[in-house]
Structure 1
């Protein structure tokens, strides 16, 4: 049973309105204490008074009136004393719980949340303050809220600044998008205009070249026609003379023969024929180098262009080649069937001189190729070999300062296989190509496109080099072999 002192103390901790222990005690300016809920409800009833009745805010104990709604501040000390009076281990009754919001009670002890623990970063009750947070820094809600409000305002300011920066960046991106589109459209217009101009220039050059060729052809054919007419007239005159001479020879009368012979005119000397000249190479020569450079530019150098594709190892365009023994240098030994050539130093092959042979260590193939696509494969014993194609008019003599003449003029193209690289020869110029050394090589000739390509044959077909040109005569495969080297022409069924 409680002592008289405890009873008197508990009486002082009772709200004069609800007659219960204070729940969230607040102190009025007059010094009297009430439950926050009770005094708020009391003043609310005063505000709801009927018309004509005296309105205002008064203290229920001393009847002191207040002009304005007083600010109600929690009496922390009184609150702590009330909590101690409630006996720290006792539970708040169900009736009391329903009058306090669930969020205002400690979930662990069921006590009213009164302080904020900075170490735990949470609101605590008086039991938490004594048991768990006795050595922690504890502050009033108002103090902690002030700190948090400052942080929140700073966060809002930063968020606002960041929002402004983002909006500015988005505006810059929109401007950048417009600039990109404008620049792209302008560049597109320029590129389309430039390519249109290039196409027109190529078409004009094409038609001028074709027109000149047709003009040269018409002139040459005209001379041929005139010469044919002259020869036809001369043939008719000779035929008439032959008939009269035969009749005269058959005449038995000597007198008549002599008289008719005197009247028989002798055939006149034939008129000189007009010179007929039609050299297709001379028509192409002025633009051959230009077309070669344009082809290389469009097919290889121009960004985005498609490089020549490697041919299929076996196809209908494969050609079986044989060496032409009439052109082989005297130190080149050909196998039976003329499919392998070997350079035997110091040994002169015992072949009869049947035609102009190469002074350099070279040999032509018997087959020559004109229109269409052609492909062949060769196997070399080692480096120091040249393979290529040439017109039949390739000089047989040794060129000064060179051991070979493949690729030294405008009518031959060659790929020299060296120990560390390849050299592509044409018109005496060599282009270095850094690719692995292959002993099996493929050669692709697309005569109509003016494209000659070389490939290395291994596990995968590897492109080595392409020549672009305008071919005007049949092309013959040609080879040069250094001492001790051999070349075999690969055959397919």
Structure 2
């Protein structure tokens, strides 16, 4: 082992043999005279000289100083071990070490060519195909590559962390979506359940009202039939008397016969009353055909007058003495009323409204071309709108269209009303949603323009001592139910 170490120290790094006539460069490294002379001769045309070991540079050809002591040691070593094969560590013989030798020169790979990205030996760098290329020691090149790889590793680590963070964010998003979907599902299920219950309740009320009115009409018709049967028998008897009178030949007898009262031959029947009752049965059944709910209809603030206030949910209209000073637009009313945002151009629709027991309020429908200024813009004060007014101060309903007001005989019995519109049939009906449901009035018209749902407010001034004025303020709102 000691001889192998000594042999390594006495080996020229250029020819890889024991030194022959060793010389030393100014940097302190030693080589065979012929070996280093060949290297320096090859470098001469480049005008710069470098040590094959440490790459120390000089502009002038370095002086070669003979190293006698090293030469003596080399000669002694050769004489002692001449004819004997010295056991040397596997520098050239093992397969692993051969992988680190230059295949062309069989010298140790000590440098790295940056231009060709190849590991090279001294001969490749000084006199081979890599001569003049930028080279680095293997350690330097290795450290640079390690630094580059570390930077890549750092970037990859950062990207992996970002990917992990993105995965966590997506997992959180999925959880939130699942929670939101579950919440929406529960809300929709509860809403559908509530709508179903309301529909069932409405169906029971409407069917009950139809049955009640059917019974009333049936009783009335049965009574009329009984009266007609009695009258028919009486008429048959009187017709027989008249026929007998016509068959008499004695003029004196004919003239002396008492003339029957003409009223006996006529009878006024309550047909109109029966017809009205039948109308109530028909219109009440229509309420179950509505396809729109109150939640589909909200108020348009841009049409509201300046002395009415619209709630934040766009469902309630109320009176205010404070002028709202809203901007003037072509669609804004001067009067105390408001129209809906959506219009109706076809189909069957049903809404429910609820109003205060104070003041006056109205509901109805208006065409898109209704006037927005002056008294003629009030719902019902023109041929473009149809309205029902509720007057709690005198407990009375009235309907209005084309400036004609008709006071109805109905007495107000509840605050909630149903409005039913059949656009194609040209029917607009109003109902009291009490128990039982009562038909108030039905407008008939040929609707040709888009219709908007409308709410209006009025007020009544109560004066005392000719100086005090009390205003009864009212409100009306769309109810979120079917």
TM-score range for the pair, normalised by the shorter chain length: 0.3 to 0.5
TM-score by length of 1: 0.38
> Which has the higher relative contact order, 1 or 2, with Cα contacts under 8 A spaced 6 or more apart?
2
TM-score by length of 2: 0.39
